[in-house]
A and B are shown apart, each in its own frame.
Chain A
Amino acid sequence: MQSQKHKDAEDLWAVQATLQGNPAAFETIVRRYTPVLYSLAYRLLEEGEEAEDAVQDILEKAFRNLSRFRINKRFFPWLYTIAVNHLRSLERRRRRRSRLRIVSSEPERILESVASEQGNPVEQSELREGERLAQQALETLRAEHREVFVLRQIQDLSVQEVSEVLGIPEGTVKTYLHRARKAMIDFLAGSGWE
C-alpha cells in the first residue's frame, strides 16, 4: 500500500504535469479520487443518485481551476474543499427546489423513465436495512456535523485534515464529532423503536 507521502507526491506530479501542458496527467487524479469523492457525495447529499453528476462536476471544477492550486500545499485537502463547497451548494439548491420549482409532470416522467433504463446507481431496494438506517441516522444530523462525521469517521481523514478541508479549528471538529455521535445514538437507541 502506498504511503500518504507517496500519494501526495504523485498528486503534485500529476498537477504539475497538467499545468505544464499535459492534461492527460490529470487522469491520475481522476482515477484516484473518483471513488472517494463518489462516496463523500453519496453520504452528504440527501439525494444519493446525484452523486455521480456531483463527482463529475467537482473534478471538472478542479481541472478548470488547477492554476489556482498552490503547488507547495497538499493537493487532496484542496480538492476536498472544492468538493464540500460544491456539495453544500447542491444541497442548498435542492432545499430551494422543494419550495420553488417549475411544475411539469410530463417531462419529469420522461426523464425518470429514461434514467431508469440506464440503471440507477442507488437502488433503495437493494440497500441492506442496516445501511438504510445508518444513512437515516446521518440524515438526522445538522449539515456541519454530518460533514465532519463523514470526513473523519467514514472517509478516515485525520482531525487535522478535516479541520484544513472545512476551514474550522480542530477543537470544533472534535465538538462536532461528539455532537454527531450523540445525535445518532439518540436516533438508534431512542424510545421510538419499541
Chain B
Amino acid sequence: MGETLFALEDLTIDSVRGGERRRIVDHVDFSVQRGELYGLVGESGSGKSISMMASVGLAANGLDVTGGTVRFRDHTRPAKDQKALRGNLSRGVSLLFQNAKGALNPFMRVGAQVERVVRQKRRNHDLATEVDTLFRVVGLNFRDLGQKYPHQISGGQAQRVAMACALATEPRLLIADEPTTALDVTTEREMLRFLAKLCAERDMAIVLIAHNLSLVSEYCRSLSIMHAGQVVEAGDLRSIFARPLHPYTQGLINAVPDVDSPRELVPLIGSVWGGPQGIERCRFSHRCPHARAACEMGRPPVIERENRAVHCVLYEEAMA
C-alpha cells in the first residue's frame, strides 16, 4: 500500500514537576502505513506510552509537549495543540490500554458501555444489533456478558470488551498500549493473533506498544525501538533482526534466548535514565559498549537507508 496514515515528527515532551523540567521524549519520529501492524518497543519508562498518549491529545497532567507535529490522514497538527489532537479520536483513532479492567467503568454494565460508544456515533441503526455484532466480532457473546459488571468478567474478556468499545468508533488507527501485559501467556497469544486478524480484515493500522521484542517480532512487519525517550532504530523487522545496527538493538536481541541456536545471553547493563542529565546527547551512551566522546555532543545523527533508520554516530563515518 505504502500510504502513510499516521506520522509523528520531532515530538518532544518535558515533564515539569516541582520546578524541575526533564526532557522525557526527545525528538521522536516514526510513521505508520495504512493497514499496517506497527511495533513500538522499549523498556519500561522509555517514553513509548507517553509519546502515543500525547499524539492523541491525552498527555497527562504535568507533561509539557514542547514541540513536534502529528499527521493523521491528510491533516498535520502541532503536537502542542492537544485539544485539536483529541479531535482525531472522533476521526478514526482509538486506544487500548494495558489495564483493561481499569479502562472499563466499574459502575456500568459492560453491554451499556459498548452501547453508549455506538450511540455516540449518532447513527440511526438498530443499537441492539450493532452492539451484538461488536460483541461477536471480538469473540464474546452479548447474551452471556452484556449484563455483567467489569469486576465479574476475566481480564481477557475485559480487554475484548474494551476492544469492542474501540471498534465501535470505527478506527483507521488503533493504538494498543501493551494490551496483553495483564493477561496470562495463552490469552496473550490469542489476543495478539486476534489483533493481527483485525488489522488485516478491517484496513485498520495498529500501533502495538510493547516491551517484549520477541513478542512483537511475531506479529509486526516494521517497528521502532525506543530508549530513554529517543528512537534508536526503526524500520523493517526482518532486516533489523538480520542485522541490528544500533548497539541497543544488538543488546536487546542478544538478551533474547533462542531455542534453536543456543548462545550466551548478554544482559544490558545500567538503567534507562542513567547518564549525564540535561544535555543533548545519545541517551544510550552511558550503557553503550561503543560509547565515544561524540555521543555526548548533541543528539545522534539519523542515518537512513532503504527502509531502515538508525540513530547512532557509529555509522556516521561508515556511511559518509
Chain A bound to chain B: no
Q: Which residues of A contact B (CB under 8 A)?
A: none
